[in-house]
Structure 1
């Protein structure tokens, strides 16, 4: 893995200021190559889930690798087209949207994935079988490392229940809908490949009900390591098992199907570095705080998901180990890490958060009227500014005064 060095990160912080998001494009490429290698024995397509990180420069780079794009809003679809993705390389999977948004996706010519019977009926009534679609099913499988990111259980808003198959069949028969794909996604941070295989068994059973089927989409949820000793998804094992399953299905039915995946975090998480500056060292009767020049307005994952991010003091790598609680500058409790061992932190030192490429900047805000950070992309050792830092004028840009 081509990690960026402390020296490089310090130089970038000094040149572009902090807080700063940095993405190493070479790491994205390595992750994509891992996917291609793991699933080389099966007819697979990979759709980058751009909700993880949607800067158009990142999208252009991922497009250049040969990946396709998974979008969950019509504006992500438009971004993808702007970045150079052909419509047939874009999958549009919205939920709880007005039919007009789905209709717009159809007009743009992208792959449509529908997860609601009402929308399915409206689409079928308007277009019959003239435009092929995919149906998102809820397989009622609990997957993912956190309830907030589990999407396939019985209480999830996502997908149409597999127990509503008869209703779907009636809609398809009545309207003449052309179903070319079926889809499931159980959640993120899936450690056990058997979750995918269990879902695949459900998908194969459903596949027999759709004679025009061309692909099965297994979503994603591949877990990446956030700290030493973390279990991650064994994609090589999964690739072997999926290839065996699809080969057996083809032998049994005579039909060759593609398998689609939608990796987001897997492609970009480890490419991302979030650099902050230590503003103050604050000692209380119980704790030593490092107060940095950021907060959950820039990186909300630790507060929202209880997510762990490895943190290093890159300004004093040889300093003595000390225990700190790292907090932000927001007028809320915005604790990044409790009781974390770091090389001695001095006011003005740079700290880096690792695994910050997915759902970092993407979930940022201007809470407390704080400015959003800049973004930089590194490719083969060269740095490029891909988003300028907010200015005060940006806070007022869309306000009517």
Structure 2
């Protein structure tokens, strides 16, 4: 996380709103994972849906990470960033079959999460191209129902209760299954979720002789508040190593274990800086109205996400209670009744933990311009995305009238 003085310098040089990413923090998080799982055959695939700026992808590649993609466009971005096809896992959901075929033609790992798509792939390609199967283990996990993906009502994965159906497809088409995958959600604090899921996956793996890897997804928790606990990846690494050692003793096989961290790698690296436009007193509330809105940071409105907010310009001011809102013509409340050092109009405020799903989910709602992005790397402040201009709002519109 960058120092406040450095963030103020970024705000003054590049303007606000602006997203700022600290490369050192990304590297620290990546090293924490590789150290925690050093006693397993672990590979880490950065879930790039959390932040796909091409410079972030290139930096992840330089660290030794692989890439997890959920759209064919992300796959192409990964290839452009320097990832080899074998370093890319493609896990689409509810896409046209031809998008999966395109992924196959690009030679990346294909992860299929639908019975009908599995059958179509097997009928078309037989055993000529290996696939991973995404299973739904029916494990409820995650910090919010909207980011839980392994429960019985989830659209993701093939139910473990449909294994006989999967086996029939594999037998009739000759499909080559080389991996099993699960992902139960985000913000998982209890490592037991991963261990329970691993037990399920290893049990299923005994039905498929050519399994090379078990992909446990991710969902590692990062702390947003001082009282938050993060996922104990060190203990999880030790427990998973023990489980795989036991499995090897019992079966003679030891598949790799794959993970797909996204938020865990980039969330804490990111700061989002805005400017206080107005201080508005009402009969019940004091509002801080900033020069942004849910068009730039939707997480608080979308799934009640908490972001710590600090006053960069007046960090030692007396604490006051504010409701922080944006400039969008909708309710776009970032925080209710939040204690912040006294805010004055034109002060710079910073939202912490904004590296994941911040810019990535931004929009031009209200015809507002998307913010710039800056990477802090080796004592340099690098502009990695220009701020939108008015012309950007019109560039794909076709004037016919």
- 2-structure distance, mates of 1:380, 1:19: 23
2:274 to 264, 273, 276: 276
Structure 2 matches for 1:1-400, cutoff 5 A? 3-400=1-398
1:317 to partner: Cα distance? 1.1
1:141-168 residue CA offsets vs partner (Å, 9 max, x unmatched): 0010100000000000000000000000
What stretches of structure 1 of length at least 5 have no aligned partner? Answer: none
Deviations 1:197-216 (A, max 9, x none): 01011001100010000000
Q: What's the CA shift for 1:319?
A: 1.1
SS at match of 2:121: helix
1:265 CA drift (Å): 0.2
Give the SS at the match of 1:166: helix
Once the two structures are superposed, what CA deviation does each residue of 1:254-300 show, in whole Å capped at 9, x if it has no partner? 00110000000000000000000000000000000000000000000
Give CA-to-partner distance per residue, 1:26-64, whole Å, 9 cap, x none.
Answer: 100000000000000000000000000000000000000
Following the alignment from structure 2 to structure 1, what is the Cα–Cα distance between the partners of residues 265 and 78? 16
Counterpart-to-counterpart distance in 2, 1:305 and 1:87: 34
| Structure 1 moving runs of 4+ over 2 Å | none
Distance (whole Å) between structure 1 residues aligned to residue 373 and residue 180 of structure 2: 36
Deviations 1:11-37 (A, max 9, x none): 000000000000001100000000000
Question: In structure 2, how many angstroms separate the alpha carbons of the residues matched to 1:120 and 1:346?
Answer: 58
Distance 1:188 1:142 in 2: 11
Aligned equivalents of 1:17 and 1:300: distance in 2?
Answer: 20
CA RMSD of aligned residues (A): 0.5
The separation in 2 between residues aligned to 1:309 and 1:188, in whole angstroms, is: 16
Question: Per-residue deviation at 1:128?
Answer: 0.5
TM-score by length of 1: 0.99
Q: 2: CA distance between counterparts of 1:326 and 1:252?
A: 57
CA distance in 1, matches of 2:213, 2:311: 47
